[in-house]
Amino acid sequence: MPQNHAAQSHVIAQRTEMLRARCRERGLAFTQQRLAVLEAVVRSSNHPTAEAVHNALKPRYPSLSRATVYKALDTLAALGVIAKVAPPGIERVAARYDGHVGRHHHAVCRRCARVIDIEEDEIRGLRLPHATGFRVEDYSINFFGACTACAGDIPSEGDTP
């Protein structure tokens, strides 16, 4: 979700107000730690892991523990102000977090676990096959394969060993 600085600041301000309101609704404290974690995820362009968020915040918040970051990420995801991205098929890697909570999909590299956003417009024409009588309430699509950095290391399906 590449954005310019002004657009990113606007998203952070909106998400901060959303966090403040949802904490109030659920009787949770609006903490500086939660706000810092939210900002780190929204500012990131690469679906960071909890460890990456912790490392990004450590210089500004030296006493911030990993446990606090993990708890804040889980809370923020439960409140819907960020999304937890844990695509099936790559369980060997840590969950990643996404500051883009609008409808979009992902391309997931099976080699390095990179997660790339795919916007809804790019796959709008996709239809559920044989969906007679099936009422779709929500959906998310994950494409699995190799990112451009890893693609050169993987033989194509038609290549012979």
Domain ranges for the chain: 5-83, 96-151
Percentage of the chain exceeding pLDDT 70: 83
Res. 28: pLDDT tops 80 = yes
pTM of the model: 0.79
Model pLDDT for residues 82-125, shown as the tens digit of each residue? 999 876 666 666 888 999 888 888 888 888 888 888 887 767 76
Q: Is the dihedral of CA 58, 64, 65, 71 positive or negative?
A: negative
The pLDDT of residue 111 is: 84
Residues 6+ apart with CB under 8 A from 11: 3, 42, 99
Distinct helix (H) and strand (E) counts, the chain: 5, 5
Res. 161: pLDDT tops 50 = no
Output the average pLDDT for the chain.
84
CA–centroid distance for 49 within its chain: 9
The pLDDT of residue 117 is: 87
What is 5-83's CATH number? 1.10.10.10
- We find that the CATH architecture of domain 96-151 is 2-Layer Sandwich (3.30)
Separation between Cα atoms, residue 21 and residue 15, nearest integer Å: 10
3-class secondary structure, 95: coil
Residues 6+ apart with CB under 8 A from 82: 15, 38, 41, 42, 73, 76, 97, 98, 99, 101
What is the DSSP-derived secondary structure letter of residue 154? S
The pLDDT of residue 129 is: 63
Work out the pLDDT band at 153, boundaries 50, 70, 90.
low
The pLDDT of residue 160 is: 44
